[in-house]
Structure 1
Amino acid sequence: MMRIFFLILLTLPAMAQDVAFDTAATEACLATDAPAESCIGLAADACRRDTDGGDTTVGMGACLAAEVAYWDDRLNAAYDALRVRTRAIDAESLDYGFEVPSQADALQAMQRAWIPFRDAACDYERSKWGGGTGQGPAGAACLLRQTARQALALEDDLAERQSQ
C-alpha cells in the first residue's frame, strides 16, 4: 500500500481494542443535502471524543486510520464498479466498430496517477510539522481527506453513469 498508511497502522496495536469507531456520523451526514465533503472526518472526530485517550497522538492516529479504512473501502467498491462499467462501454464501442480511447484504461491510468499525488500531498502536509509528533496525525488527516475526496469523485462518476 503506501507509506503513510503503514505509519498509521503502527499506532493501532496499542489502541486496537479501545477505539470507539462508528461510521454513523459520516453516513448520517451523507444522507442529508449537506455537501458530501463536509462529512469527511466526522466519524474520526466522534471516535476521538468517544475513545479514552482519543485526544492523544496515538488515539488520533487510530481514529483517523479507522476512517481512512472506511473511505478506502468505499473508494475500492466504486473503482471496481466503474471498472466493470467502463469495460462494458469499451466492449460496446468495439461491437459498433468505434475506434475510441478505452475508458477502462483511462480510469486505471487516472487512479494510478492519483496514488502518487495523494502520497506527495500528504508527505508535504507531514513536512510542515518538522518531525514533531503532530506529523503523524497531520499526515493521517491528509490521507483521510484525499482518500475520501477520491472515493466521492468515483462514486459521483458511477452514479452519473448508472443514471444514463
Structure 2
Amino acid sequence: MKRVALALMLCASPLAAQDLQYTDRGTEICLADADGFAAEMACVGVSANQCMEDSPGGSSTYGMGGCLDRELQFWDQRLNDNYAAVMVQAKRMDADAIPGPEGSPGVADALREMQRAWIVFRDKACTYEASLWQGGTGRGPAAINCLMHQTARQALSLDVWEG
C-alpha cells in the first residue's frame, strides 16, 4: 500500500478526505446482480465513480485519487478474504492428496507463489500505467485506478477458485 500513499501524495489538493462521499454500496449492489466474471469486472469503479460525482471537488485530482483509494480498500479486503479462504482449501487439498513427483509444489505452495508473482506483476503494470502520464497530475489517480482494477480482478479470480 506504499504505492497508494505515494499516488495520493501526488494528488495534493485542499479537498479533505473526510469530505469524500464514499460508500461501497454501489459496488456491492452491482456484484449482487452480476452474472459471471465479466459482469463482476464491470462493477469495478462503480463506488469510486459515484464518490467522484457526489463529493464536492470529487473531480479534482485529489478527489479522484481519494475516491479510487476508498474503493481500492474495498477490493483489497475482498482479495485478502478470498485468498485466506482459498489457502484453507489448498491446505486441505494438500492434506488429502497423494504425494506427487519429487519436488512438485503442493497446492498451498503453488497458490502462495502465484500470489507473490501476481503482486510483482500488479506493481509493474501500475508503474507502467502511471508512467504514461509522464509526470502529469493524472499520474496519481491513474496509478490508484490501476491498483484498484488489478486488485479487483485478482479478488474475483480467487473468489471463482474458492467457489
Q: Do they fold alike, i.e. is TM over 0.5?
A: yes
RMSD: 1.7
The residue type paired with residue 38 of structure 1 is A
Alignment deviations for residues 100-142 of structure 1 (CA, whole Å, 9 cap, x no partner):
3300000000000000100100011111111010111111111
Do 1:21 and 1:44's aligned partners in 2 also have CA atoms closer than 8 Å?
A: yes
* 8 Å CA contact 1:8, 1:62 repeated in 2: no
Indicate the residue corresponding to 1:32 in structure 2: 33
Aligned partners of 1:108 and 1:20: how far apart in 2? 36
Aligned to 2:19, the other structure's residue is in SS state coil
Identify the residue that residue 4 of structure 2 maps to in structure 1.
5
Is 1:17 the counterpart of 2:18? The answer is: yes
Q: Secondary structure at the match of 2:33?
A: coil
**CA distance in structure 2 between the partners assigned to 1:115 and 1:28 by the alignment:** 28
What TM-score do you get using the length of structure 2 for normalisation?
Answer: 0.89
User: AA paired with 2:81?
Assistant: A
Structure 1 residues 149-164: aligned runs within 5 Å:
149-159=153-163
| Native 8 Å contact 1:18 1:51 kept in 2 | yes
Deviates more, 1:132-141 or 1:31-40: 31-40
Q: CA separation in 2, counterparts of 1:15 and 1:99?
A: 56
Contact 1:15 1:62 in 2 (8 A): no
Distance (whole Å) between structure 2 residues aligned to residue 141 and residue 45 of structure 1: 11
Unaligned 5+ runs, structure 1: 160-164
Match of residue 68 from structure 2 = 64
**Map of 1:88 onto structure 2:** 92
Residue aligning to 2:137: 133
Q: Which residue in 1 is equivalent to 2:99?
A: 99
Structure 1 residue 9, shift from structure 2 partner: 4.7
Task: Give the structure 2 partner of residue 52 of structure 1.
Answer: 56
Matched residue type, 1:26: T
TM-score (norm: length of structure 1): 0.88
Give the match's secondary structure for 1:39.
coil
